[in-house]
Structure 1
Amino acid sequence: MALKATIYKALLNIADMDRHVYGEHNLTIAKHPSETDERMMMRVLAYALNVPADDLRGRLEFTRGLSEVDDPDLWQLDLTGEVVHWIDLGQPDERRLMKAHGRAGRVSLYCYAASTPVWWAGIESKLTRAPKLAVWQIAPEESQALAAFAERSMQLQVSIQDGHVYLSTASRQLEIHPRALKHAEA
């Protein structure tokens, strides 16, 4: 018998001063049986960092993720079904990233493992022809601390200013410093 996803609910209050995006978002997150709290919370962080100011070009949504290998972790689809923004986590190979690059208007990748510098050194030169790709590194100690925020029902305050992310709940606080490994070209 297959294990089912565990459902988490999050009320996310976002104040992104860098992009001038503010709002309250009710999220329902299906955590795959093999997914860690760290990875699930990285998906929540990626949502907060990329949620659009409005829904004119579609909403940012969690996908089936680990259940469907061809889908990203999050995506923004417009009303015609075109992928506006493809968001992945981890350390995929260049073929997956280039395929996403061909399908989407923008591609963002968030890496959070201690092995990211080694992975990036081996793949960086293969991504020079991917101008729509942005790659970010979250320090492993920050992503591991983020995992402690995981609860079945969460209320998170997320403030983003000068490239720094400040997360808080009633009992926890965390500062995250995403580091750009590759910027997307404008």
Structure 2
Amino acid sequence: MALKSTIYKAQLQIADMDRHLYADHALTLARHPSETDERMMMRLLAFAMSVPADDLQGALTFAGGLSDTEEPDLWQKDLTGQLVQWIEVGQPLDERRLIKACGRAEVVRLWAYSSAVPVWWSSMEGKLSRLSNLEVWQVPPETSKALAALAQRSMQLQVTVQDGAIWVGDGQSSVQVEPIALRSLKPSRG
């Protein structure tokens, strides 16, 4: 018998001074049986850092990710079905997945977070150098583990962004996230 996904609910308040974005989101996350709290919270962080100010070009939604190899972790499709954003979490083993995504979406973002990221990136950087619409962010492993400690089945989280620094808190504790731009489309967030 196959294991079912575990459902998590998150009330997410975003105050992103860098993008002048202030919004509340009621989110439902299905955590795949093989997914860790750390990865799920990285998906939540990726959402907070990529959600558009409005839905005029479509909403950013959680996609199949681990359950469907043809889908990213998050995506934004415009009203015609065209992919605006393709967002991955982790370290894809095959660069062809990111190359294909860059051919399909206007912007592709990758949020990598394990201690093996520097080794992985050194083998991938050259293979991805021609992709003009790819951003790659690294979150230090101690930070992603601290984010995992905030995971609960029902969460009320505040995400504050100012001058490239990100704070994620639940009212009791807070985690400062300082992502490292391994590859960016615009000036680094830090």
> TM-score when scaled to structure 1?
0.98
Aligned residue number for residue 76 of structure 1: 76
List, as ranges, runs of 4+ consecutive aligned residues in structure 1 with deviation greater than 3 Å.
none
- Between the aligned partners of 2:33 and 2:133, the Cα distance in structure 1 is 32
Are the aligned partners of 1:132 and 1:185 in contact in 2 as well (CA < 8 Å)? no
- Show the counterpart of 2:153: 152
Cα distance, 1:50–1:131 mapped onto 2, change above 3 Å: same
Which residue of the partner structure matches residue 164 of structure 1? 165
What aligned pairs does 1:52-67 form with structure 2 within 5 A after superposition?
52-67=52-67
Structure 1 73/160 Cα, relative in aligned 2: closer, same or farther at 3 Å? Answer: same
What is the CA–CA distance in structure 1 between the aligned matches of 2:124 and 2:29, rounded to whole Å? 30
- How many angstroms apart in 1 are the aligned matches of 2:171 and 2:101? 38
**1:168, CA displacement in angstroms?**
1.0
Q: How far apart, CA to CA, are the structure 2 residues paired with 1:135 and 1:118?
A: 14
Distance, in Å, in 1 between the alignment partners of 2:48 and 2:184 is 18
- Which residue matches 1:122? 123
CA separation in 2, counterparts of 1:146 and 1:34? Answer: 18
Any conservation in 2 of the 1:57–1:77 contact (CA below 8 Å)? Answer: yes
Alignment partners' CA distance in 2, 1:170 and 1:91 = 31
Q: Deviations over 1:35-58 (max 9, x none)?
A: 000000000000000000000000
Identity level (%):
59
Listed as ranges, the gaps of 5+ residues in structure 2 are none
* Counterpart for residue 36 of structure 1: 36
| SS state at 1:12 partner | strand
Tell me how many residue pairs correspond in the alignment: 186
Unmatched runs of 5 consecutive residues or more in structure 1: none
TM-score, structure 2 normalization = 0.96
Equivalent position of 1:4 in the other structure:
4
Q: Distance in 1 between matches of 2:95 and 2:31?
A: 26
Asked if 1:17 is matched to 2:4, the reply is no
Match of 1:109 in 2: 110
- 1:42 is paired with a residue whose SS is helix
**Residue aligned with 2:88, SS:** strand
Letter in 1 for 2:146: A
Shift of 1:106: 0.3
Report what 1:141 is aligned to: 142
CA RMSD of aligned residues (A): 1.0
| Partner of residue 90, structure 1 | 90
CA distance in 2, matches of 1:71, 1:5: 17
In structure 2, how many angstroms separate the alpha carbons of the residues matched to 1:128 and 1:166?
Answer: 30
Instruction: Tell me, in whole angstroms, the C-alpha distance in 1 between the residues paired with 2:71 and 2:104.
Output: 11
Deviation at 1:185, TM superposition (A): 6.0
SS in 2 for 1:70: coil
